[in-house]
Chains A and B, each alone.
Chain A
């Protein structure tokens, strides 16, 4: 550092202590549990499987070539499709719910939010098994529908893509509600009041004021739902009856059943690349929202 800027340096220097304390643990965590594993993954992806599993350290690109097999592209496409449908469905369900909570009287907001996160108090696996009990041909939903005469024979609710999508929506819905609620809360009622004063109808207010200004929350929620949906392998396994394969299942299969870590690493990389694309879209949306908020010269 330049000695000429001594006073300024001292001022900055004083901040270093708290900075290390505040950022240190997070950075260390990130380095050890994110950057190092991803580094290992990238390294493995260029090696090959040994005859009995394990990794042989001879550089090769064959895993990458294999990943472009239509089989795996197809699985990746299915995963993106299911994750997208799950995200869109969550958004449609979560936005009105978040709006309702944000507009509720302050006395009710906390209890309502607790209800949103209540499912997290039980193991994800148990909740997924519970859906199997609800959806199976002899399960509660089919029994009730048949009992009241709506249907004559059980609907195929379980072991298909519908069940997988439902399971994902159910699992990650709270992760959509919370960020949208947070941005609605931050927005406050003033903007919609102003819109109403300017004779906007409630629908116009929602469409032209509330939704655009809560876009950061919407995008954050979409990422919170899309990312874990894309990599999920428990829901397709249990609710899909092993008949709907998502990329998470293939990665799990490569690492465990096939003991082919290098190829599993390549498939895992493909998911990471997809995530980066999604995050790039998010950054783009956020930048545009900020421009709107700070008022671009018209």
Chain B
């Protein structure tokens, strides 16, 4: 997810400190005293209930400096400008783990300091951007699909072609995501190419496909597409699973499908900074996040899945019933292709294609 999770305060459970501070169930291996220290974190806005941070502070005596970034690119910019310093723990999406690692900013994870890491699904330890989670620990994950109004779209859109050759009812009433990585994705998947392709020919074909699709669109939209669905301004949009749920929270006649050609698997992760002088507290925080009852409060607040079987088992069945994308299983998710870094040449090709499509 490269875009901020800005507007979800109204959704999910409220963050009014309903998580009781419970004793660690994994047992701490290293009795490093972290109380009295400061931990500087940067995360997307509203991507975690405030109670999680407060309860962590109360339990450990650590003071958390909680900074906010609006996008992956935003935090990358801050870190690049400061040569990787200034934060102990940052939340970024999978491909950015590779970038942080390539720049030498990401610390190697000492898994012995995170006993709860065993709660992670096995699939979540085999993700292409960081196999074995050597430099990152998955926070949430999900996929991208088609989010649509069941009352305005006659039949279930089952393929990405829905954007390219639309039904008369949806023409001019669709939005696609505008950020490079997702902009070309429907085209690439529809054409049968990898979502991580760096092949100039394939990118060219995807560009042409997307330019044709643009004629059928209302707009490219990364932030308000679900509101457009609720208002009826749009009837079918390319959407991240959790963001589709924000629409469903206001308008039950909204549904989400993963098209037949498949989709991407995105993961948002926690990365400890190599420059951090308080790695022990960073590990303690990651370990805290991986606890079932803490993770449960995060899932119920953000409406995003965590790759953590214990957490997902703890989530209230009512919430899963109301927001069915939470029921997508790790196996289903793992069938999608994980996004990885595109490298220098690839990034240039993708960005130029995106500029050309939108210009």
**A257 contacts B73, C-beta separation under 8 Å:** yes
**A51 contacts B351, C-beta separation under 8 Å:** no
For the complex, give the distance between the alpha carbons of A256 and B352 in Å. Answer: 14
Q: Smallest Cβ distance from B186 to chain A, in angstroms?
A: 15
**B178 contacts A259, C-beta separation under 8 Å:** no
**A253 contacts B99, C-beta separation under 8 Å:** no
* Residue total for A at the interface (Cβ-Cβ under 8 A): 33
Q: Does A98 contact B (CB under 8 A)?
A: no
- If A242-B219, A257-B351 touch, whether A71 touches B359 (CB-CB below 8 Å) is yes
Q: Smallest Cβ distance from A83 to chain B, in angstroms?
A: 16
A242 contacts which of B74, B232, B358 (Cβ < 8 Å)? B358
- If A241-B218, A260-B347 touch, whether A53 touches B103 (CB-CB below 8 Å) is yes
* Residues of the B chain whose Cβ atoms lie less than 8 Å from the Cβ of A50: 103, 344
**A256 contacts B102, C-beta separation under 8 Å:** no
A51 contacts which of B77, B217, B344, B350 (Cβ < 8 Å)? B344
* Residues of the A chain whose Cβ atoms lie less than 8 Å from the Cβ of B358: 242-245, 249
* Residues of the B chain whose Cβ atoms lie less than 8 Å from the Cβ of A256: 71, 73-74, 76-77
Residue of B whose beta carbon sits closest to that of A249:
B358
For the complex, give the distance between the alpha carbons of A41 and B232 in Å. Answer: 44
For the complex, give the distance between the alpha carbons of A242 and B219 in Å. Answer: 6
- If A53-B76, A71-B359, A138-B232 touch, whether A254 touches B351 (CB-CB below 8 Å) is yes
**A52 contacts B71, C-beta separation under 8 Å:** no
Residue of B whose beta carbon sits closest to that of A255:
B77
- If A50-B344, A256-B73, A256-B74 touch, whether A245 touches B98 (CB-CB below 8 Å) is no
Chain A 235-263: CB-based contact to B (< 8 A → 1; otherwise 0): 00000011111000110011111111100
Residue of A whose beta carbon sits closest to that of B352:
A71
Q: Smallest Cβ distance from A240 to chain B, in angstroms?
A: 8
**B214 contacts A52, C-beta separation under 8 Å:** no
Q: Smallest Cβ distance from B87 to chain A, in angstroms?
A: 16
For the complex, give the distance between the alpha carbons of A242 and B217 in Å. Answer: 11
Chain B: number of interface residues, binned into ranges: 35 or more
**B73 contacts A137, C-beta separation under 8 Å:** no
Chain A 16-51: CB-based contact to B (< 8 A → 1; otherwise 0): 000000000000000000000000000000000111
Q: Does A212 contact B (CB under 8 A)?
A: no
A241 contacts which of B102, B219, B347, B356 (Cβ < 8 Å)? B219
For the complex, give the distance between the alpha carbons of A3 and B219 in Å. Answer: 72
A54 contacts which of B103, B218, B232 (Cβ < 8 Å)? B103
**A241 contacts B220, C-beta separation under 8 Å:** yes
Q: Does A279 contact B (CB under 8 A)?
A: no
Residue of B whose beta carbon sits closest to that of A138:
B233
Chain B 138-182: CB-based contact to A (< 8 A → 1; otherwise 0): 000000000000000000000000000000000000010011100
Residue of A whose beta carbon sits closest to that of B177:
A242
Q: Among A78, A132, A138, A242, find the residue whose CB has the most chain B CB atoms closer than 10 A.
A: A242
Q: Does A59 contact B (CB under 8 A)?
A: no
Q: Smallest Cβ distance from A180 to chain B, in angstroms?
A: 34
Q: Does B80 contact A (CB under 8 A)?
A: yes
**B359 contacts A75, C-beta separation under 8 Å:** yes
* Residues of the B chain whose Cβ atoms lie less than 8 Å from the Cβ of A49: 344, 348
**A52 contacts B352, C-beta separation under 8 Å:** no
For the complex, give the distance between the alpha carbons of A74 and B359 in Å. Answer: 8
For the complex, give the distance between the alpha carbons of A241 and B77 in Å. Answer: 25
For the complex, give the distance between the alpha carbons of A67 and B214 in Å. Answer: 25
Q: Smallest Cβ distance from B127 to chain A, in angstroms?
A: 18
Residue of A whose beta carbon sits closest to that of B179:
A257
A138 contacts which of B179, B217, B231, B350 (Cβ < 8 Å)? B231
Which residues of A does B touch, CB under 8 Å? 49-54, 71-72, 74-75, 78, 132, 136-138, 158-159, 241-245, 249-250, 253-261
**Known contacts A52-B341, A241-B220, A243-B358; 10 further A-B pairs (Cβ under 8 A):** A52-B99, A136-B233, A159-B218, A249-B358, A253-B351, A255-B73, A257-B354, A258-B180, A259-B73, A259-B99
Q: Which 5 A-B pairs have the closest CB atoms?
A: A241-B219, A242-B220, A256-B73, A52-B102, A258-B351
- 12 A-B pairs (CB sep. < 8 Å): A49-B344, A52-B103, A54-B103, A136-B231, A242-B220, A243-B220, A243-B358, A245-B355, A249-B358, A257-B73, A260-B348, A260-B351
